[in-house]
A and B are shown apart, each in its own frame.
Chain A
Amino acid sequence: MGAIYVLWLRELRRYTRSRVQIVASLGQPLLYLFVMGFGLGAVFQQAGHGSYFQFVAPGIIAMTVLFTSTFSGIALLWDRQFGFLKETLVAPVSRFRIMLGRTCGAATVAMLQGMLVAIICFIAGFRPVNMAMLPLAFIFLMLIALVFAAMGTTIGASLKDMQGFQMVMNFIVMPIYFLSGAMFPLDNLPTALAVATQLDPLSYGVDALRAMLIGQAHFNVARDVVVLLVVAFALICLGAWRFSKIEA
């Protein structure tokens, strides 16, 4: 058994055993899905954009993946001082492999959580336009999870203590979510906002998911793929570098 594998497996075991946590973390996406989905539905329809519930469901799935993967990355901060991470840091295993095992684990967990929300969306009436696209949607879900798990790891490895958590939440995670077009179409935005949305990696993830699930894309899918791959690669490198600098 390799180090990367056991660390990945560990994240997975922890996830599947924390049933209460799984249910608890469904609260927020469900709130967004049902309250926003149905609450804004009428306005959206009147504006001639079709069903808001259909539109927002891929966004909510992406949001779930964003939050779950970022948080499990940031959990590194706890783990570093008071937990299991120290055990791995003194082991004869390179830091890069530890970082990769953890990040892949966090990404897998986020993906599972995202799929759970996807299933709930489906039960609530969400219908993908083309079932054949589902495997591709799954791959995009994986990419989004990888990008933000790597981002979480980078942040978790860079913070000194939990004080910085609020900052990260309010100035990184929430802006990424709100600027991604998860909740509104990216057409006809004021220039400043349009630029901001284009700088947000999640915009491309949401866009690709929407393209796969409801057949609407703002950017084109090829561009989405390239941006997500580049950002994932860059963040894994950055994360690995930050991780290698941890002094426990």
Chain B
Amino acid sequence: MVDILIIITKTQSRARKEIAHRYVCFKINDKVVVKQPNAYKLRTTNLYRVRSMIRVENLTKKFADMTAVDGVSFEVVAGEIFAFLGPNGAGKTTTIKMLTTLLAPTSGKLEIDNLDTTRNQHEVRKRFGIVFQDPSLDQELTAMENMEIHGALYNVPRKLRRERSELLFKTFELWEKKDAFVKTFSGGMRRRLEIARGLLHTPKILFLDEPTLGLDPQSRNQLWTQVKHLNQNEGVTVFLTTHYMDEAERVASRIAIIDHGKIVAIGTAQELKDKTQTSSLEEAFLALTGTALRDESVNPTQRMRDMSRLWRR
């Protein structure tokens, strides 16, 4: 029996401002295992029994000719930043699509905030925000108009929508640009706008599918700083996929590595390194998934992705 617990430690910073730090812990056979080294002196320690935000059991998705996700199980705790890593075609996006109700699982159990994603689709959808791998903003509209549509789709009352839009625009440094057309935005600004939009309806969980793909180091750095900030301030759980190991190590409390549709390892970055006896997460990743190149066959989606890029320019 594994109980998931969370310890919130309160530390006093120099500015005498209280900051909460979260450490994910497990209670295994009445023994609490701290999953992150505690670098701060504890002032008060509160033990909370926390709810799981995502619970996946034996999740499987079969397409006509292949099994994309093969008996995957994991759990994500409320308030956690959870990274999902894997080579191309490992099943990351398929898993996210199932988690976000866009694809129905072939078999297995899938719960978001203790709600079954297929039976309570509507309720589940209210609880998450998502940033897709491919852009999903309306480029012909302004940033604010994109927010407005999102607010209407999620039934956010007008007044709240205004307040929250302002807060999010300011957090993501887009306030000055709120009335500019999205087509004039840089890649980094678009990503930030997508994240801001995804948070408009105050979701409990935010899915980020390769949010930093194609961004320069500055934009990536800024984006993760802001995501971490929101994670700490609003307590939003973050589930992300990325190809950049340094990012996963920097922001995620725990990391799952998926390959050929199966989870090969799960734990903190340190645990993965220890497990594979390597010194960096990149090496651990390669040790776990092998060095063979993954040449995905080009599917219609990829072909269209290429075409749409040409089309837009």
The chain A residues found within 8 Å of chain B, CB to CB, are 1-3, 5-7, 10, 13-14, 17-18, 78, 81-93, 160-163, 247-248
Contact = CB atoms under 8 A, between A and B. Distances in A.
B102 A90 contact: yes
B145 to A, nearest CB: 7
A5 B154 CA distance: 13
Contacts of A84: 136-138
Contact of B153 (A3, A18, A81, A163): A3
B152 A87 contact: no
Interface stretch (B75-83, B184-192, B242-250, B297-305): B297-305
A93 B153 CA distance: 7
Nearest to B123: A92
A78 B140 CA distance: 14
Interface stretch (B25-33, B125-133, B162-170, B277-285): B125-133
B140 A92 contact: no
Nearest to A160: B300
B47 interface: no
B146 to A, nearest CB: 8
B304 A162 contact: yes
Given A17-B140, A81-B134, A90-B125, A161 B152 contact: no
Contact of A86 (B123, B134, B152, B303): B134
Given A14-B141, A83-B135, A92-B126, A3 B304 contact: no
Contacts of A3: 152-153
A211 B197 CA distance: 49
Contact of B149 (A6, A90, A160): A6
B150 interface: yes
B16 interface: no
B152 A2 contact: yes
A1 B145 CA distance: 13
A90 B152 contact: no
Q: Which 5 A-B pairs have the closest CB atoms?
A: A91-B153, A161-B300, A92-B125, A6-B152, A1-B152
Contacts of B155: 92
Nearest to B312: A82
Nearest to B181: A17
A3 B151 CA distance: 9
B57 interface: no
A87 B136 contact: yes
A89 B304 CA distance: 19
Given A81-B305, A160-B300, A248-B97, A6 B148 contact: yes
Given A81-B305, A248-B102, A10 B149 contact: yes
Q: Which of B102, B151, B153 has the most A CB atoms < 10 Å from its CB? A: B153
B100 interface: yes
A147 B110 CA distance: 40
B138 A90 contact: no
Interface of B: 97, 100-104, 122-123, 125-126, 128, 130, 132, 134-138, 140-141, 145, 148-155, 158, 197, 300-301, 303-305, 307-308, 311
A112 B88 CA distance: 46
A127 B214 CA distance: 57
B221 to A, nearest CB: 26
A82 B305 contact: yes
A87 B305 contact: no
B103 A92 contact: no
B154 A13 contact: no
Given A2-B152, A90-B130, A81 B304 contact: yes
Contacts of A248: 97, 102-103
Nearest to A246: B102
A72 B311 CA distance: 16
A87 B129 CA distance: 10
Contacts of B140: 13-14, 17-18
Contacts of A1: 148, 151-152, 158
Contacts of B152: 1-3, 5-6
A162 B136 CA distance: 18
Nearest to A1: B152
Given A2-B152, A6-B149, A161-B303, A82 B135 contact: yes
A87 B150 CA distance: 8
Contacts of A82: 134-135, 304-305, 308
B308 A92 contact: no
A84 B135 CA distance: 8
A242 B308 CA distance: 23
Nearest to A86: B136
A52 B73 CA distance: 71
Contacts of B154: 91-92
Given A86-B136, A87-B197, A90-B100, 19 more contacts: A2-B152, A6-B153, A10-B141, A13-B140, A14-B138, A81-B134, A82-B308, A83-B135, A85-B136, A90-B125, A91-B125, A91-B150, A91-B154, A92-B153, A92-B154, A161-B303, A162-B304, A163-B300, A248-B102
